[in-house]
Amino acid sequence: MKKLGIIGASGHGKVVADIAKKMGCYQEIVFFDDNADRVQCGDYSVAGKSQDIFHFECDGFVAIGNALVRQRLQEEMEKRGIHVPVLIHPAAVVAEDVQILPGTAIMAGAVVNPGSVIGKGCIVNTCASVDHDCKLNDYVHISVGAHLAGTVAVGEHTWIGIGAVVSNNLAVCENCMVGAGAVVINDIKESGTYVGVPARKIK
């Protein structure tokens, strides 16, 4: 019987579990969370703290928004031999040649177009789009309804906020937060927080 352990019994975790269930490749899904108050996540029970996943015979997936925490836990799972899958909602549209590395979740309604490469532990959230020839480095999050035009590169740990857009042929460097609704029209070369139209650095 194939089991999936998900670390992070949050709303995001609930969405990840729904994708895994719809993909039909797991007979059992259980959660792990360090917050003892979380005993249930949707229809699924919380079987223990994050470290307890290592005592279960299961595949593992980290459903935590914080990119550094996501990376730390995924790397620990990989080091200890836990298989980390790619999860793609059946209602996402992903071109055939797209490369997607382990630990990435592609949510419902998302579109990833040809030639794109998506790193480890990324989130392409609900109805986000990643157009042709984009490169998402590891642990990037493209939020709900955000859009990347063609040939956009996004650096490691960068979070593109809800409804933000990045115009074509641009690069957004690592460790950036691009705020809700921002419009990026120039390369972002310095890590930080960017908001507005056009996007400007505030932190």
Ligand X SMILES: CC(C)(COP(=O)(O)OP(=O)(O)OC[C@H]1O[C@@H](n2cnc3c(N)ncnc32)[C@H](O)[C@@H]1OP(=O)(O)O)[C@@H](O)C(=O)NCCC(=O)NCCS
Between the CA of residue 120 and those of 22, 102, 138, 146, what are the distances in Å? 21, 5, 5, 19
Scored b (16 or more CB within 10 A) or e, 119-140 reads bbbbbbbbbbbbbbbbbbbbbb
In whole angstroms, give the CA distance from residue 157 to residue 173: 9
Q: Which of 12, 55, 83, 132 is catalytic?
A: 132
Nearer to ligand X, 69 or 180 (CB): 180
Least distance to ligand X from the beta carbon of 180, Å? 4
Active site annotation includes 55 = no
What's the token pair of residue 145?
């309804």
What does the longest C-alpha to C-alpha distance in the chain come to? 51
The least CB distance from residue 34 to ligand X, in Å, is: 21
Nearer to ligand X, 69 or 162 (CB): 162
Q: Which is nearer to ligand X, 19 or 82 (CB)?
A: 19
Site residues, ligand X (CB under 6 A): 125, 143-144, 161-162, 177, 179-181, 193, 195-196, 202
Q: What is the smallest separation between the CB atom of 57 and ligand X, expressed in angstroms?
A: 32
Residues noted as catalytic? 132
